[in-house]
Amino acid sequence: MVVAASALTTPRTGTAAGVPFLALPPAVATTAPAPLVLGLHAFEPPRSESALAGTLPMAALPAWRVHLGLPQFGARLPDGGVPEINRRGEHDYLVELFGPIVEGAAAELHGVVTALRSALPIADTPVGLVGVGAGATAVLLALAERRLPVGAAAVINPIIDPTLLMAARERRTGTPYRWNPRSQNTRGRMDMSARTAEIVRDGTPLLVVSGGEDDVCPPDHGRAFHAALAARAPGNIGGRADDHALRHIVVPDLAHSIGPEPGLEPGPLTPAGVLTDRALTEWFHRRLPLPPQVRQDPAG
């Protein structure tokens, strides 16, 4: 691992198991190990670890918030750079871009946690996961496939079903997407609405945040996804799950992109972004196992 700063009170940048990251230290100054929350950015703003850290800082959380760069983004652009990424998207956005990046991000998490624990004072407790857009789909995939022990998770504007993504892309480009056996296979793996039983089987607390202005996966789809999760959640009563373990909220005025273009650096905070950040902070504070010496009221 390569780390740019040594003080435990300043942000750090570096790589963990080959994955670029930006780490924000716990809100409470302490030498004791603190919990870890991993963040995964979107294809749209915020589309870098730095932009995600500025958009959803969760500054009051007494935990390490480590935001990761997605495969093929930032320092890991493929040969040919952005034009090559655009070419893959034009050829087959789902099979050559969305699917491999989401699956790659989920597969990297276990190695990243192992590497981070060798360099930062991180508690030996299940981690928190938070993702936006494609990063949120990677979080759901990690839960479904039990990639690592997770204490709590939150997803903002997740791509629940790739057909929604491709329909939105068709509206933007005016070009119909041609489904084929490969894309149907990718869709089968990425369709989180069909994997709800796998996602909730361990009872991991999960917050689903829908943007009221999300035109890719509108709030109605988020509500339906939550209902499907609740119906399969351990201990559900009459198709309803305990809000402590499973919750869905809609943030008014939050669009699918939650920051300005180009989305590589933090933009000005918006009221919708502040509400989202507050909801995440409270969710992880109340559901992640926090050592007594760092636990405090996030509103205090």
Give domain limits for the chain.
2-294
Angle of the 181-190 helix axis to the 99-117 helix axis, nearest 10: 40
Q: At what angle do helices 134-144 and 99-117 cross, to 10 degrees?
A: 70
Place of tokens 């990677």: 138
Predicted local distance difference test score (pLDDT) of residue 238: 47
What is the C-alpha to C-alpha distance for residues 138 and 169, in angstroms, rounded to an integer? Answer: 19
- The pLDDT value given to residue 128: 98
d(CA 154, CA 140): 9
CA 117 from centroid of its chain's CA atoms: 20
pLDDT of residue 8: 57
Strand order in the sheet with 64-68: 2-3, 12-16, 19-24, 64-68, 36-40, 127-132, 150-156, 206-213, 246-255
3-class DSSP assignment, residue 76: helix
pLDDT for 240: 52
pLDDT tens for the 300 residues of the chain, in order: 444 434 456 889 999 999 999 999 998 877 789 999 999 999 999 999 999 999 999 999 999 999 999 999 988 888 888 788 888 888 899 999 999 999 999 999 999 999 999 989 999 999 999 999 999 999 999 999 999 999 999 999 999 999 999 999 999 999 999 999 999 999 999 999 999 999 999 999 999 999 999 999 999 999 999 999 999 988 664 445 556 789 999 999 999 999 888 888 888 888 999 999 999 999 999 998 776 655 554 544
**CB within 8 A of 164, min separation 6: which ones?**
216, 217, 221
Return the pLDDT at 103. 97
pLDDT score for 300: 41
As a whole number of angstroms, the distance between CA 147 and CA 151 comes to 13
Question: 3-state secondary structure string, 156-182?
Answer: ECCCCCHHHHHHHHHHHHCCCCCCCHH
What are the phi and psi torsion angles at 234 (to 5°)? -60, 135
**Phi/psi zone of residue 238: left (φ > 0), alpha (ψ -120 to 50 degrees), beta?**
left
CATH number of the domain located at residue range(s) 2-294 in this protein: 3.40.50.1820
Provide the CB-side half-sphere exposure for 27 (13 A, CA).
17
Residue 150: what pLDDT? 97
> How would you classify the pairing of strands 36-40 and 127-132?
parallel
> Which residues lie closer than 8 Å to 177 by C-beta, 6 or more apart?
93, 94, 166, 169, 170, 183
**Distance of alpha carbon 82 from alpha carbon 247, whole angstroms:** 37
**What's phi and psi for 20, nearest 5 deg?**
-70, 145
Instruction: Report pLDDT for 4.
Output: 42
